Amino acid sequence: IRQHLVKAKKLEAVEQMGAAISHEIRNPLTAALGFVQLLQESDLDEKKRDLYLSLVKGELESAERVIQDYLTFSKPSFHTLEELNVSEELAHVLTILQPLTNQNSVLVETNFSLNGLIKADRQKFHQCFLNLIKNAIESMPDGGVLYIETQSTSSQVTIQIKDSGVGMTRAQIERLGEPYYSTKEVKGTGLGMMVVYSIVRAMKGTIRVDSEPEKGTVFQISFPAY
Ligand code: ADP
Ligand code: MG
């Protein structure tokens, strides 16, 4: 009975989160729709038209950001555990982030171990590292170096993500993972690290953060080896 209660509670938390997220997506969509309706009015001068169009664009981008941070790889129903080679999966995430890497003039260096197998849900693994690597790239808006390393022993697989970006203060590090905590103003959702922590916890992994303002940040994530 006790186990059932715990499960029910967990489900409730997930449902509440789902409700909060659909709210985060619906709000900008509703706003965009409102501006589209205004655009349909016949006697609209060019200045107003441009303003409404840029507002529509901004709202749609905001909805897209929530989907990328929270839902990009989510799929309906069952979660299958597979044997994953972490280096191969990280290479895939880097490919997805190539446009952002180019846009920020970020140089990518990798040192991938050939081994390093874990048992995990591939989509969740991708969602987690998409958020970590995206944050690293976003911390270097004027360029820098992103270094990703994987290491494996018989008991652990460790992934290190290092950037030469803006870094964080101790107080900022302590707020990581708090829902909606973001220093990126309109460009942030504050959902990415919450997703990271919840996935790593579910995978029985650990997260270490070392950061220094203006120097950069290192995230070290370890999982039990398969
Ligand atoms: P978002 O990216 O939408 O702001 P996240 O939850 O992904 O939200 O991250 C929360 C905050 O943590 C960011 O706004 C940023 O201040 C900080 N942060 C996360 N990763 C890094 C990093 N690699 N370098 C500097 N700051 C970071
Ligand atoms: Mg983020």
Place of tokens 């944050």: 135
Residue from 134, 193, 207, 221 whose mutation best tests the ligand 1 pocket (most atoms within 8 A of CB): 193
Grouping H, G, I as helix, E, B as strand and the rest as coil, residue 133 is: helix
Contact 180, 191 (CB under 8 A): yes
Q: Is the pLDDT of residue 201 over 70?
A: yes
Place of tokens 């290192």: 218
Q: How confident is the model at residue 17 (pLDDT cuts 50, 70, 90)?
A: confident
Distance CA(66)–CA(194), nearest Å, equals 12
Cβ of 188 closer than 6 Å to ligand 1, yes or no, is: yes
Helix axes 2-39, 46-66, angle to 10 degrees: 170
| Residue with more model confidence, 194 or 9 | 194
Cβ of 163 closer than 6 Å to ligand 1, yes or no, is: yes
pLDDT of residue 2: 64
pLDDT of residue 75: 74
Residue whose CA is closest, atom 8 of ligand 1?
190
pLDDT of residue 82: 94
pLDDT of residue 8: 65
| Ligand 1 midpoint to CA 147 (Å) | 17
Whether the ipTM is more than 0.95: the answer is yes
Kindly state the percentage of the chain with pLDDT values over 70. Answer: 92
Q: Is the pLDDT of residue 13 over 70?
A: no
Burial grade of 157 (CB within 10 A; 0-12, 13-18, 19 or more): buried
The sign of the CA dihedral 153, 117, 146, 70 is: negative
pLDDT tens-digit series, residues 139-194: 999 999 999 999 999 999 999 999 999 999 999 999 999 989 999 988 899 999 99
DSSP string, 84-121: EEHHHHHHHHHHHTHHHHHHTTEEEEEE--S--EEEE-
CA-based nearest residue to 64, from 119, 37, 24, 12? 24
Q: Specify the ligand 1 atom closest to the Cα of 166.
A: 25
Q: Specify the ligand 1 atom closest to the Cα of 65.
A: 3
pLDDT of residue 52: 96
CA dihedral (78, 81, 85, 90) in degrees, to 10, reads 40
pLDDT, mean of residues 93-118: 96
Distance CA(96)–CA(25), nearest Å, equals 22
The pTM (predicted TM-score) of the whole model is 0.90
pLDDT tens-digit series, residues 75-102: 765 678 999 999 999 999 999 999 999 9
